[in-house]
């Protein structure tokens, strides 16, 4: 009975905070301004998938981990639209980003990544001509292992929408740091209508419930969805005693199992920032998994974090 009371209190607190947030900020939350759109050196190849990559850095830098990820995506066969919500991008970074991207967009820091992706859809309507669309962001560090075969692996998957991991929090859904949408999805009215409804929300829990959960829940009415590293399969490798007692965020609670048992290619930044996992501990796990990822890239991000 105690868990039920706690859950009800949590729901009431959430709706109160959401309502209060809307009342306080209703007048100040307009459509985020697109500051500029810079053409990159990459020529669009519509036979390849396009990636909308959202990034933010409080010091207005594009760090090593981001360039490393962008390079891996290019090798894997993605064209990239870089969507920054930092206050600005230096000329040095613009020049370097141009080597990886079709275009670089800088926008106001409002609405988190879902509004960033919405901006990408508006600024690059040619996304519909590409073979598929990947929604990604820089909330993860990696890839820790090669993702060269990622596109053919996802295209062989029977699902229409493919994520890296899934979660049961609030409602079964794909986690939004990596969402691969096949052609049938991105040209559908369902996809377009979902993003047309995306608004500026600043309460993180509201973003998760309405947009991360909502994406899987609403589009799942028509399309099939799957995670490459599904929670059910991962839990089969974890003893009952070691499983978290409450809801499970796999990239946070099961990160060691994901890396050592499944060669999972990413580490969530929140592991280092929120959970306080050390570089030493990560290095030991990567060594066990025979990853050749350079942990100095993690140090570079931590120094700026």
Q: What is the pTM of this model?
A: 0.90
Q: What is the pLDDT of residue 238?
A: 82
- Transcribe 152-216 into DSSP letters: HHHHHSS-SEEES-EE-SSS-EE-TTEEEEEHHHHTSHHHHHHHHT------HHHHIIIIIIHHH
Tokens for 299, please give them. Answer: 């140090």
Q: What is the pLDDT of residue 275?
A: 79
Q: What is the pLDDT of residue 1?
A: 40
Query: For the chain, which domains are there?
Result: 22-232 (3.90.550)
Q: What is the pLDDT of residues 259-304, one digit of tens each?
A: 999 999 999 999 998 778 999 999 999 999 999 999 989 888 877 6
- The whole-chain average pLDDT of the chain stands at 89
Q: What is the pLDDT of residue 6?
A: 38
For the cut 50, the answer to whether the pLDDT of residue 16 exceeds it is: no
Decide if 213 contacts 173 (C-beta within 8 A): yes
Q: What is the pLDDT of residues 162-174, one digit of tens each?
A: 999 999 888 999 9
Residue range 10-31: mean pLDDT, rounded: 48
Q: Which comes out higher in pLDDT, residue 113 or 237?
A: 113
Q: What is the pLDDT of residue 237?
A: 87
Rounded CA separation 167/213 (Å): 9
């Amino acid at each position: 009975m105690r868990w039920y009371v706690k859950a009800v209190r949590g729901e009431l607190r959430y709706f109160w905070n959401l309502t209060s947030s809307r009342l306080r900020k209703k007048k100040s939350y307009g459509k985020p301004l697109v500051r500029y759109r810079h053409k990159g050196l990459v020529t669009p190849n519509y036979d390849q998938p396009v990636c909308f990559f959202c990034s933010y850095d409080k010091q207005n830098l594009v760090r090593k981990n981001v360039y490393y990820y962008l390079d891996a995506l290019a090798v894997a066969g993605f064209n990239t639209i870089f969507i920054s919500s930092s206050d600005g991008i230096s000329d040095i970074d613009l020049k370097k980003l141009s080597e990886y991207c079709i275009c670089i967009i800088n926008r106001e820091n409002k609405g988190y990544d879902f509004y960033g992706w919405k901006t990408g859809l508006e600024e690059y309507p040619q996304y519909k001509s590409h073979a598929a669309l990947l929604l990604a962001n820089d909330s993860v560090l990696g890839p820790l292992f090669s993702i060269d075969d990622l596109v053919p692996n996802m295209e062989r998957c029977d699902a229409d929408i493919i994520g890296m991991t899934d979660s049961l929090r609030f409602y079964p859904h794909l986690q939004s740091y990596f969402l691969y949408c096949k052609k049938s999805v991105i040209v559908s009215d369902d996809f377009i209508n979902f993003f047309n409804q995306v608004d500026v929300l600043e309460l993180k829990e509201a973003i998760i419930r309405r947009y991360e959960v909502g994406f899987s829940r609403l589009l799942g009415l028509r399309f099939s969805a799957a995670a490459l590293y599904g929670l059910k399969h991962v839990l089969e490798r974890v003893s009952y005693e070691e499983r978290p007692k409450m809801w499970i965020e796999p990239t946070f609670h099961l990160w060691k199992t994901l890396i050592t048992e499944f060669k999972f290619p990413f580490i969530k930044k929140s592991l280092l920032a929120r959970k306080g996992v050390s570089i030493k501990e990560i290095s030991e796990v990567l060594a066990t998994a025979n990853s050749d990822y350079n942990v100095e890239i993690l140090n570079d991000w931590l120094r700026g974090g």
